[in-house]
Structure 1
């Protein structure tokens, strides 16, 4: 179940609910997870709120495009390896965690890259989802793996490779 909290009304103009659901479903399907078994929350906020969150949780007092808080640590032990798959709880549900996405940063990045904001939003949701699933881009090998998976998922959504 996807729960979306829209804290900035500008997100309404992007059809965020539909875009996020599409990106979440595509990511979960790609990872062979059943969407109806998974729970996550997306906070659609502004730069001010995401800067507060970035400061509080990462000691970086500035806006960013997307932040993720995985429900459990799934990271791969070795560089370039796949993370562990999330496990369901006693109810059969899989709690994935939370994602926050900032409107101004997202809109600015899309404009600077000359791409539709809807494509950039779906990319950032896929990116955030992969973080919830234990993927990261700190080590080069992990970044290569994460970007490859992002490109595969985005391709299924008809979105060109954002890294070229």
Structure 2
């Protein structure tokens, strides 16, 4: 079982996604079994932020002085006990999800879910530094999104 704790520091998120904690936990329930951590309690935190604040984090932790769509910080010591552990933190920028400004709510939601999945895979150790890793991550993203998009329709 996976549970995401959602923290919102950008008020604009509430205009696009009403019950954010329920929404993201429902998304996780639609993940393929491979990513559900059956018989374990798995937690992570999702911070819904904006460009200004994500830029500060990107500079502090990645030495890149620019904003980005998503940051993921895997927790280094994943095993807390055999049945329970904390994966890490994901931060998503509202400004990236809401671009262009006239984006429909449906497109905004799809874009947010895709980047949420992307961030989640980073917590699991997926990356896109080289072509082979990029292909593996892209395949996993597509597989998860294809099961989740049923919920979005």
Per the TM superposition, whether the score is higher than 0.5 is yes
Q: Which runs of 5+ in 1 are unaligned?
A: 74-86, 160-164
Does residue 38 of the first structure (1) align with residue 42 of the second (2)? yes
Matched with 2:140 is 149
Q: Determine helix, strand or coil for the equivalent of 1:116.
A: helix
Does residue 51 of the first structure (1) align with residue 51 of the second (2)? no
Contact kept in structure 2, 1:27 and 1:129, CA below 8 Å: no
Which residue, 98, 104, 119 being the options, matches 2:95? 104
Q: Determine helix, strand or coil for the equivalent of 2:30.
A: helix
Shift of 1:25: 3.3
CA distance in 1, matches of 2:34, 2:101: 25
Give matches, 1:79-158, under 5 Å: 88-90=79-81, 92-108=83-99, 116-158=107-149
Distance 1:102 1:62, change over 3 A: same
How much is the aligned-residue C-alpha RMSD, in angstroms?
A: 2.7
Shift of 1:89: 2.1
Give the TM-score taking structure 2 as reference length: 0.83
User: Per-residue CA shift, 1:3-62, capped at 9, x if unaligned?
Assistant: 111001111122233432233333473424139611101111111000000010111111
Question: Which of structure 1's runs of 4+ aligned residues deviate more than 4 A?
Answer: 109-112
Return the structure number with greater relative CO, CA threshold 8 A, min gap 6. Answer: 1
Distance 1:111 1:147, change over 3 A: farther
